[in-house]
Amino acid sequence: MTIVLDKDQANESGLGERIGLECPYCGVYAHMTPQSVPDAASLMRDKPKQVGLVYQCDACHAPIFLRFTVREYSDNRVELLRNFVELERPKERFAFSYLPKHTEVLFREALACYSNNNFNAFASMCRRAANSSFLALGEGGKLRAFEEVMVAQDIAEINDETFAPIKAVLFGTGEEGDIPLLNRAQAGILLEVLKDMFYQCFVRHGKLTHAIKVRQFFVSEENNKLQSA
């Protein structure tokens, strides 16, 4: 199944069909409607190898730019392959405010690398973010984080072979040049494991102590009211 742009724009087909994406603006997995389609006649004159189309997110109406590869130019039509490149990827989210400042800066950059498919830059930034978090946790922090990651491996049932490069990125002590090369699948595991590690070491503690403080505040307010009544 391909997308066809017709010279008289009369017989476009496949354009609005089954393009569903996680929108980089609203985060909803939504259907995309074609909004701006290049003129087939000028494409046939210049014959570019790749063509850009703008779609509109059905959920928030933001414009989404997609790049398609041309399959074939023929007399009256341009045929595009259906697989496309998203020029803007959804941003990865995290409760950054619970992280130590230094770790937050590094982890935000790690996530930006991941969103742009730069998986080895992502791995390097994960090493730096993890190291900074060990320092922030203080003595025994690295060991504690390691134990949290071992629990995560167990819960997610990831085998040792798959998990070895993830551990090497986070806990390796060698030079940055020794960090193993990661593919998309491994980077995805690393992302979830590091998010979980930060959650266990910082976010959980921050949320829990905040929630308890709020409870205690209301209890003491009520006591004050009772005493003054």
Q: Please give the residue ranges that form the binding site for Zn ion (CB under 5 A).
A: 23, 25-26, 57, 59-60, 62
Question: Closest distance between Zn ion and the C-beta of residue 221, in Å?
Answer: 42
Question: Closest distance between Zn ion and the C-beta of residue 53, in Å?
Answer: 16
Q: How many residues does the chain have?
A: 229
The pair of structure tokens assigned to 202 is 């910082």
Q: Is 32 helix (H, G, I), strand (E, B) or coil?
A: strand
Taking the least distance from each CB to Zn ion, the nearer of 59 and 121 is 59
Taking the least distance from each CB to Zn ion, the nearer of 25 and 73 is 25
The pair of structure tokens assigned to 196 is 């979980």
Taking the least distance from each CB to Zn ion, the nearer of 58 and 147 is 58
Cα distances from 155 to residues 144, 176, 189, in angstroms, run: 17, 29, 13
The pair of structure tokens assigned to 61 is 């109406």
Taking the least distance from each CB to Zn ion, the nearer of 32 and 99 is 32
Q: Which helix (H) or strand (E) holds 181?
A: none
Question: Closest distance between Zn ion and the C-beta of residue 27, in Å?
Answer: 7
Q: Is 88 left (phi over 0), alpha (psi -120 to 50) or beta?
A: beta
Taking the least distance from each CB to Zn ion, the nearer of 49 and 93 is 93
Local structure of residue 94 (DSSP, 8 states): -
Question: Closest distance between Zn ion and the C-beta of residue 19, in Å?
Answer: 13
Question: Closest distance between Zn ion and the C-beta of residue 28, in Å?
Answer: 6
